Structure 1
């Protein structure tokens, strides 16, 4: 199947030249695994970055001049919860195993899966029923396919494959055995994907036994690994397949000049909570405090790493928590070229609330910062962890406010930074640049976190669709963006720009947006009013101007979410909501044709047009210096609008 690319052959070099002229060094596409497109007959209704359809889309991204791809968390999700932010931290999601390559007798794995089986499973994908039905169907079908792949492997035992699998098991034994035993025990206790029903038994605390239970727990682990050796090996084999496919993707992306960015999620899956429970505080959970983004706060129900286990008791060596962090980060940075830190306040100054509350939302609203609560009467247990003294607090603001802590010594900053430093240190050890550590700071930037990030010269996220046009100091306005920041119109937790454009239109808010963008993109007073009027009267042009505003900012790093790129109006995830539609938005098989159609009516990102607008925002001197480049960008933009190559 030939990809009908809307882009001319010279497009990539033109975009690269324009990005360089604008001082943009990182131009990154954000997309999560389920959203990748497939090809007919290729998958079971859920995307994967390892399919041929995904490869063709990534080739298109390369031609758009992207320098990197930001993936979401790639851990194993459960049959009842598709959220990648609740996935596993070490095991990869086997829903990502691309099945078509497993049918190729000449491929890296031989014909582990018959073409007939794949065709049958594809034919059984439901055509109706919504995302929940489609996800459940994909889970069932993938399980059938991987079972056949395992049976074929056991029967054939191809020597090269056997050797690679043995090497993989040996290298990853520690986490493979823990994660596999979770499945074994969940099956024995008839509680798939959950362990709360057997939490009080020895099985529930195999890796965190009570005093005097250590020998019994070790014996039980050995027994299970022996009796359930087949199940443990099968679990490892599925992980082997998805890890090898990820390795091939990284090789391909690297050859195309695309960096792969991983997502260092702040939460823990049930599997990881069980396997690492000895690392956590028992009385508290982590959540999001009330904020501009979520005024009510969010009770995430994530466990909190125990500060007293960060380092050894004598302070001379890493403790269990830092050893866990080193293992996790070492694995991630061997698999990605950089990391997005999900909610970095969770590493520096986590917002915690009491576990076991009958009303978690009320509990999280009355929570506190773990290290910034020296004398709170409603949280006396947190005093032992406080890094600050009572006189370092501003009690005239809510305890979740960015300015709750008023000042820190360098020694205090270093204590707040212990976990964050492990990320930066491991990234440097793997040869990653400072800019390849992305901090997802949105509307909340506690003083403690700002001090830690400033030590490493790291910026924050600036989501311009959220800009308050009435507040010149608003953190989301593009004129307040610093060079080290990452700027974007939206992300996976916001509405699509194209949906917002429609809402602004029927709310009669386009003119306010147009006036703001005219100030940013038309430096001369003469003609600015006419430009603003043109933007207000043409929603498609205003959308392009909203993108141009990113590139006209001081940021060296620009990111775009795939729905914004392609002109898709649907929402990928609505934060704080439980909805089957979350995490399900997918690029259609015929995305190239859809993109061409939307370009013709200004309803998708026309990158040459956007970059030309951003260059012209530099004023007369910039227009003169880049006159020839602007001509070529204008010509490319016109070709895209006309559908010509």
Structure 2
């Protein structure tokens, strides 16, 4: 029965892929880092005994994220030189998984790239991940030093293993980067290429405490990563999440499934302080983030230029600020932007709270069955994103100074204004 259901699902997925291709659309899948319950049972022999994959203490959780995902035993992936062993059972398992997902889609988001390059492991059944370490970057760890790609002199001894600065950048020699990147170089990229998927159609999710090995592998290979504007440090002009600093091949988003709904984040940031924050502290934070947003959007325009271009944002209105955060995405050099479905539909519930292990709270939001009507109703009420208006505003912000003589530009803006007005019409 299970095999038959999988057969039907596979056929339906291929039909959807072919139909979308005719419409000029592509399918981006998610290669999750976790294992299903059935896979945990079926492939338990390839898992590293006594250790599981998770996240160290971070922005989301002071105790770390207790995923309890199996991690493949390095001895069942790599040879004695740290290179991929094609005959090893762990390698063959990953090859089947990636070959399948590449055959069914036109692009893939690879979840938690750290788990492929520099994973955080902790003792199985531990109540937190605090006693964990980096599997391939712990040369002094009694139980795991045999798997280390580096030597004791390559770590910053004044930093903890969960720090992004644990491994010295100077330790990232060509040979070591090649070893850390073995799964990417020798398995993922070749299989994607064989399936006709360019490396720019792969999204290497790299959020969290990024380590020197992970950052170096991704940077030297020019691989696409994700930047999140909710993470911007407003005091750092070079912050990597700031739209103007995001390279063209990266993806830019205001928030992922692990962030609060954009409207909720905006409300806490700009409209009213959360219960856990003192008002003076919140007011300073609000001012810093608001000045950053205003500068990055309109800093090159005078008030009169904004008025002539029909650009106006009510900085005291949560919905206007939400729209501004989305418009900002289209001002970046990034060629691709991502908007989580809950934000697209103007939902107010958060999808996931990392560190909270309650499936009755997390992972509950769904796209409405009457999604088209739901969207039109929400956008007419000013809750959902009016994409034509967002694109129109982005174009007008980027418009060169002086009178616009480009007829194509003027026609495009006019058409977007027309479509935006249609979406504004009330829906019964």
**TM-score calculated relative to the size of structure 1:** 0.59
SS at match of 2:252: strand
| 2:383 aligned partner | 603
Superposed displacement of residue 616, structure 1: 2.4
SS at match of 2:271: helix
For residues 472-515 of structure 1, what are the alpha-carbon distances to aligned partners after superposition, in whole Å with 9 as ceiling and x for unaligned? Answer: 34333223312121111122222211222333322377665543
Please say if residues 261 and 350 of structure 2, whose CA atoms lie closer than 8 Å, have aligned partners that are also in contact.
Answer: yes
Superposed displacement of residue 525, structure 1: 4.9
How many angstroms apart in 2 are the aligned matches of 1:329 and 1:622? 51
Q: What is the correspondence of 1:111-510 to structure 2 with a 5 Å cutoff?
A: 234-312=1-79, 317-318=85-86, 319-357=88-126, 360-361=127-128, 364-375=129-140, 379-406=141-168, 407-421=171-185, 422-503=187-268, 504-507=270-273
Please say if residues 135 and 147 of structure 2, whose CA atoms lie closer than 8 Å, have aligned partners that are also in contact.
Answer: yes
Please say if residues 350 and 370 of structure 1, whose CA atoms lie closer than 8 Å, have aligned partners that are also in contact.
Answer: yes
SS at match of 1:334: helix
Superposed displacement of residue 564, structure 1: 0.7
Superposed displacement of residue 618, structure 1: 2.0
Relative to structure 1, the CA distance from residue 598 to residue 473 in structure 2 (aligned partners, 3 Å threshold; closer, same or farther) is: same
Superposed displacement of residue 448, structure 1: 0.2
Is 1:631 the counterpart of 2:384? The answer is no
Superposed displacement of residue 387, structure 1: 0.7
Is 1:612 the counterpart of 2:376? The answer is no
**TM-score calculated relative to the size of structure 2:** 0.87
Please say if residues 288 and 298 of structure 1, whose CA atoms lie closer than 8 Å, have aligned partners that are also in contact.
Answer: yes
Please say if residues 514 and 542 of structure 1, whose CA atoms lie closer than 8 Å, have aligned partners that are also in contact.
Answer: no
Relative to structure 1, the CA distance from residue 623 to residue 303 in structure 2 (aligned partners, 3 Å threshold; closer, same or farther) is: farther
Relative to structure 1, the CA distance from residue 514 to residue 640 in structure 2 (aligned partners, 3 Å threshold; closer, same or farther) is: farther
How many angstroms apart in 2 are the aligned matches of 1:252 and 1:581? 35
For residues 515-560 of structure 1, what are the alpha-carbon distances to aligned partners after superposition, in whole Å with 9 as ceiling and x for unaligned? Answer: 3332122243521898898431333222221111111011111111
How many angstroms apart in 2 are the aligned matches of 1:404 and 1:273? 31
| 1:575 aligned partner | 354
Superposed displacement of residue 287, structure 1: 0.9
How many angstroms apart in 2 are the aligned matches of 1:527 and 1:620? 15
| 1:588 aligned partner | 368
Q: Which 5+ residue runs of structure 2 have no aligned equivalent? A: 274-282
Please say if residues 615 and 623 of structure 1, whose CA atoms lie closer than 8 Å, have aligned partners that are also in contact.
Answer: no
What is the number of residues matched between the two proteins? 404
How many angstroms apart in 1 are the aligned matches of 2:423 and 2:69? 46
Please say if residues 54 and 65 of structure 2, whose CA atoms lie closer than 8 Å, have aligned partners that are also in contact.
Answer: yes
Please say if residues 229 and 243 of structure 2, whose CA atoms lie closer than 8 Å, have aligned partners that are also in contact.
Answer: yes
How many angstroms apart in 2 are the aligned matches of 1:370 and 1:623? 59
Please say if residues 255 and 340 of structure 2, whose CA atoms lie closer than 8 Å, have aligned partners that are also in contact.
Answer: yes
How many angstroms apart in 2 are the aligned matches of 1:244 and 1:587? 23
Root mean square deviation of aligned Cα: 2.5
Please say if residues 199 and 223 of structure 2, whose CA atoms lie closer than 8 Å, have aligned partners that are also in contact.
Answer: yes
How many angstroms apart in 2 are the aligned matches of 1:601 and 1:286? 44
How many angstroms apart in 1 are the aligned matches of 2:289 and 2:393? 16
SS at match of 2:71: strand
For residues 394-437 of structure 1, what are the alpha-carbon distances to aligned partners after superposition, in whole Å with 9 as ceiling and x for unaligned? Answer: 11222111121112111111111122221112111111012111
Superposed displacement of residue 235, structure 1: 2.4
How many angstroms apart in 2 are the aligned matches of 1:586 and 1:513? 31
Superposed displacement of residue 248, structure 1: 1.8
How many angstroms apart in 2 are the aligned matches of 1:588 and 1:316? 44
| 2:425 aligned partner | 642
Q: Which structure is higher in RCO with an 8 Å CA cutoff and minimum separation 6?
A: 1
Please say if residues 351 and 368 of structure 1, whose CA atoms lie closer than 8 Å, have aligned partners that are also in contact.
Answer: yes
How many angstroms apart in 2 are the aligned matches of 1:271 and 1:489? 34
| 1:35 aligned partner | none
After superposing the two structures, state which structure 1 stretch, 461-470 or 540-549, moved more: 461-470
How many angstroms apart in 2 are the aligned matches of 1:500 and 1:442? 18
| 1:520 aligned partner | 296
How many angstroms apart in 2 are the aligned matches of 1:599 and 1:271? 41
Please say if residues 381 and 426 of structure 2, whose CA atoms lie closer than 8 Å, have aligned partners that are also in contact.
Answer: no
Please say if residues 31 and 111 of structure 2, whose CA atoms lie closer than 8 Å, have aligned partners that are also in contact.
Answer: yes
For residues 132-168 of structure 1, what are the alpha-carbon distances to aligned partners after superposition, in whole Å with 9 as ceiling and x for unaligned? Answer: xxxxxxxxxxxxxxxxxxxxxxxxxxxxxxxxxxxxx
How many angstroms apart in 2 are the aligned matches of 1:347 and 1:393? 20
How many angstroms apart in 2 are the aligned matches of 1:275 and 1:526? 63
How many angstroms apart in 2 are the aligned matches of 1:251 and 1:242? 14
Please say if residues 339 and 436 of structure 1, whose CA atoms lie closer than 8 Å, have aligned partners that are also in contact.
Answer: yes
Q: Which 5+ residue runs of structure 1 have no aligned equivalent? A: 1-233
Please say if residues 572 and 584 of structure 1, whose CA atoms lie closer than 8 Å, have aligned partners that are also in contact.
Answer: yes
Superposed displacement of residue 561, structure 1: 1.0
In terms of fraction of residues, the more helix-rich structure is 1
